[in-house]
């Protein structure tokens, strides 16, 4: 259904609903109209509750994403620290080897 057809359909439906309301109020069916309005309010309230559930879901999702980002940052920091420590150990080992070589060369 194209957008224009959909728009025509919705306008026609809205006009039909307005005509039904006018007939029901004019026909003395006032209590039916009140009941219909109450049903609509109930639906709106349920939509509001659905929105609250959706907001809660989004909030939890954001918290989970933040927690995941923090964990990722901590993991990267640990890996970087481990890499620095490995490099420091390598450098110390090189210095130890050079010291031993220096002592061997100059003791002869």
Concatenated DSSP letters of 11-56: HHHHHHHHHHHHHHHHTT-HHHHHHHHHHHHHHHHHHHHHHHHHHH
Buried b (16+ CB within 10 A) or exposed e, 7-22: eeeeeeeeeeeeeeee
Q: Identify which of 86, 66, 89 has the alpha carbon closest to the alpha carbon of residue 78.
A: 86
Structure tokens at 107: 């003791």
Q: Domain spans of the chain?
A: 3-76
Q: pLDDT-derived band of residue 88, with 50, 70 and 90 as boundaries?
A: very high
CB 32 within 8 A of CB 24: yes
Minimum mean pLDDT range among 3-7, 73-77, 94-98: 3-7
Looking at per-residue pLDDT, the higher value among 48 and 89 belongs to 89
pLDDT in tens, 23-80: 766 656 667 777 777 777 776 666 667 788 889 999 999 999 999 999 999 999 999 9
Q: What is the model's pTM?
A: 0.44
């Amino acid at each position: 259904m194209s957008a224009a057809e959909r728009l025509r359909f919705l306008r026609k439906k809205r006009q039909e609903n307005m005509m039904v309301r006018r007939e029901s109020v004019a026909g003395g069916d006032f209590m039916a109209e009140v009941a219909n309005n109450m049903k609509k309010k109930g639906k709106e309230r349920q939509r509001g509750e659905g929105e609250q559930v959706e907001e809660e879901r989004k909030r939890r999702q954001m918290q989970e994403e933040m927690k995941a980002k923090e964990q990722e940052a901590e993991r990267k920091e640990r890996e970087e620290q481990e890499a620095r420590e490995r490099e420091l150990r390598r450098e110390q080992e090189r210095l130890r080897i050079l010291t031993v070589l220096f002592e061997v060369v100059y003791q002869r």
